[in-house]
Protein backbone atom coordinates (compact mmCIF):
# COMPACT_ATOMS: atom_id res chain seq x y z
CA UNK A 1 0.00 0.00 0.00
CA UNK A 2 1.37 3.42 -1.00
CA UNK A 3 1.56 5.84 1.91
CA UNK A 4 0.35 9.33 1.02
CA UNK A 5 2.73 12.16 1.72
CA UNK A 6 1.55 14.47 4.51
CA UNK A 7 2.73 17.88 5.66
CA UNK A 8 1.81 20.46 8.26
CA UNK A 9 3.12 23.98 8.82
CA UNK A 10 3.22 25.89 12.07
CA UNK A 11 3.44 29.60 12.84
CA UNK A 12 4.77 30.98 16.10
CA UNK A 13 5.10 34.67 16.94
CA UNK A 14 6.78 34.19 20.35
CA UNK A 15 3.48 34.89 22.11
CA UNK A 16 1.12 32.16 23.14
CA UNK A 17 1.21 28.78 21.43
CA UNK A 18 2.21 27.77 17.89
CA UNK A 19 -0.68 27.44 15.44
CA UNK A 20 -1.29 25.12 12.50
CA UNK A 21 -1.34 27.36 9.42
CA UNK A 22 -1.26 24.75 6.67
CA UNK A 23 -1.81 21.02 6.43
CA UNK A 24 -2.56 18.49 3.77
CA UNK A 25 -1.94 15.19 2.07
CA UNK A 26 -0.82 14.20 -1.40
CA UNK A 27 -0.47 17.09 -3.83
CA UNK A 28 -1.31 19.69 -1.16
CA UNK A 29 1.45 18.28 1.08
CA UNK A 30 3.92 18.50 -1.79
CA UNK A 31 2.91 22.13 -2.38
CA UNK A 32 3.35 23.00 1.31
CA UNK A 33 6.85 21.47 1.26
CA UNK A 34 7.68 23.20 -2.04
CA UNK A 35 6.68 26.64 -0.72
CA UNK A 36 8.60 26.06 2.52
CA UNK A 37 11.69 25.11 0.56
CA UNK A 38 11.38 28.15 -1.73
CA UNK A 39 10.98 30.46 1.27
CA UNK A 40 13.89 28.94 3.18
CA UNK A 41 11.66 27.59 5.94
CA UNK A 42 13.33 24.68 7.75
CA UNK A 43 11.65 21.33 7.12
CA UNK A 44 11.84 18.51 9.61
CA UNK A 45 10.43 15.06 8.94
CA UNK A 46 8.41 13.65 11.83
CA UNK A 47 5.59 11.37 10.67
CA UNK A 48 4.03 10.92 14.11
CA UNK A 49 3.86 14.66 14.73
CA UNK A 50 2.46 15.38 11.26
CA UNK A 51 -0.23 12.75 11.80
CA UNK A 52 -1.23 14.54 15.02
CA UNK A 53 -1.07 18.04 13.48
CA UNK A 54 -3.27 16.98 10.55
CA UNK A 55 -6.07 16.55 13.11
CA UNK A 56 -5.74 20.12 14.46
CA UNK A 57 -8.07 22.65 12.84
CA UNK A 58 -6.39 25.33 10.73
CA UNK A 59 -5.44 28.49 12.66
CA UNK A 60 -5.89 26.63 15.95
CA UNK A 61 -3.22 26.41 18.62
CA UNK A 62 -1.52 23.08 18.96
CA UNK A 63 -2.90 20.99 21.85
CA UNK A 64 -0.90 20.61 25.07
CA UNK A 65 0.02 17.00 24.30
CA UNK A 66 2.09 18.26 21.33
CA UNK A 67 3.95 21.01 23.23
CA UNK A 68 7.06 18.96 23.93
CA UNK A 69 7.45 17.66 20.36
CA UNK A 70 6.91 21.13 18.86
CA UNK A 71 9.27 22.72 21.42
CA UNK A 72 12.00 20.33 20.26
CA UNK A 73 11.44 21.41 16.66
CA UNK A 74 11.50 25.10 17.61
CA UNK A 75 14.75 24.54 19.52
CA UNK A 76 16.20 22.85 16.44
CA UNK A 77 15.19 25.83 14.28
CA UNK A 78 16.67 28.32 16.78
CA UNK A 79 19.98 26.42 16.75
CA UNK A 80 19.93 26.21 12.95
CA UNK A 81 19.25 29.94 12.63
CA UNK A 82 21.97 30.76 15.15
CA UNK A 83 24.45 28.80 13.06
CA UNK A 84 23.30 30.66 9.95
CA UNK A 85 23.33 34.00 11.75
CA UNK A 86 19.64 34.65 11.05
CA UNK A 87 16.76 35.48 13.32
CA UNK A 88 13.59 33.40 13.67
CA UNK A 89 10.62 35.46 12.55
For the chain, the average pLDDT equals 91
**Domain contains 49:** yes
**Domain contains 89:** no
Closest CA to 60 of 89, 87, 23, 5: 23
**Domain contains 1:** no
This prediction has a pTM of 0.84
CATH number for the domain including 68? 3.40.1690.10
**Domain contains 20:** yes
Q: Is the pLDDT of residue 88 over 60?
A: no
Domain that residue 21 falls in: 6-84
Q: Tally the domains of the chain.
A: 1
pLDDT tens figures, 52-77: 999 999 999 999 999 999 999 999 88
Residue 20's pLDDT is 98
Q: What burial class does residue 8 get, using C-beta atoms within 10 Å of its C-beta: 0-12 exposed, 13-18 middle, 19+ buried?
A: buried
Amino acid sequence: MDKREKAAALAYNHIGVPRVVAKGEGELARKILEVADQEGVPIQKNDLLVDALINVELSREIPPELFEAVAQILAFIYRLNKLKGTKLT
